[in-house]
Structure 1
Amino acid sequence: MNIDKFKHEHVAILSAIDQLRTLARSGVAAQAQAIAEQVVAMSGLVKLHLAVEQRVLYPAVQACGVARVARLGRQYETEMQGIAGDYLAFAGRWNTAVRLAQEPDAFRSEANLVLHALYQRMRREETELYPAVEAI
């Protein structure tokens, strides 16, 4: 299975996270409109990536015929449900400039938790899941 598309999507998502961090460092209230727009744009990338993983990657990995890799695919799919839910809730809360301007500290706190979890997950996929898939 060719997973280059997934890797390219990770690069795009990580770039979007970096752009969001840059904006937040300039001041959440001062950059509220730009941050809200970035959250919306990033959500499109993340949702597309999650949908393709769910429809294509996980079923293919679980049906690969290599027990260890299939188990890994199931584990990753199960774990992603929680991470995806947390991210989607975050994106739904922080996609308006008004809310960002009113609660900049809450945004920073939640962004640090949710985006760090998303970042860590993508790194694990790149170092554990993707190499296992490429090896079969």
Structure 2
Amino acid sequence: MNMDRYHRDHASILQQIDTLRSLSRAGIDANAEHISQAIVETASLIKFHLAAEDQVLYPRLATSAMPEVAAISARYQSEMQGLSQAFGRFVERWRVPARLQEDPEGFRRDANTVLRALFERLCREDRELYPAAAGL
């Protein structure tokens, strides 16, 4: 299975996470507009990436003749539900610049939790899920 699109998506999402970190370090209050825009852009990338996984990748892996690949796919798909919901709440709360300016430390805490979980998930997919899919 060709995994190029998924790897490009991951690279773009990781770049967005890095952008959010850089903007936050430079000052949440001063960069609230840019942070807000980066959050929305990241959410858009993730939305399309998840749709591709849900509509193409997971169904293909679920029908694999290799039971371990189907099991990995089911586990990853199930795990993504919680992270997707947490990220959705993060976007809903922090996409408004005024909220970022009102509570920069709350944003920093939430970003550290949600973006770290997202980063770790992408790394795990690159190490485990995508190599299994590429072998099909």
**Post-superposition shift, 1:135?**
1.9
Q: Is 1:85 aligned with 2:108?
A: no
1:26-41 aligned at under 5 Å gives the runs 26-41=26-41
Alignment-derived partner of residue 17 in structure 1: 17
CA distance in 2, matches of 1:57, 1:85: 20
CA distance in 2, matches of 1:132, 1:42: 26
CA distance in 2, matches of 1:63, 1:52: 16
**TM-score under structure 2 length normalisation:** 0.98
CA distance in 1, matches of 2:61, 2:81: 17
CA distance in 1, matches of 2:35, 2:133: 35
Alignment-derived partner of residue 114 in structure 1: 114
Code of the aligned partner of 2:114: V
Alpha-carbon deviations, 1:102-130, whole Å to 9, x = none? 01000000000000000000000000111
CA distance in 1, matches of 2:24, 2:48: 24
The number of equivalent residue pairs is: 136
Code of the aligned partner of 1:64: S
Q: Is 1:4 aligned with 2:1?
A: no
Alpha-carbon deviations, 1:7-37, whole Å to 9, x = none? 0000000000001110000111111111001
**Post-superposition shift, 1:73?**
0.3
Q: Superposition RMSD on alpha carbons, in Å?
A: 0.7
Alignment-derived partner of residue 47 in structure 2: 47
CA distance in 2, matches of 1:42, 1:75: 24
1:63-102 aligned at under 5 Å gives the runs 63-102=63-102
**Post-superposition shift, 1:65?**
1.4
SS of 1:29 mapped into structure 2: coil
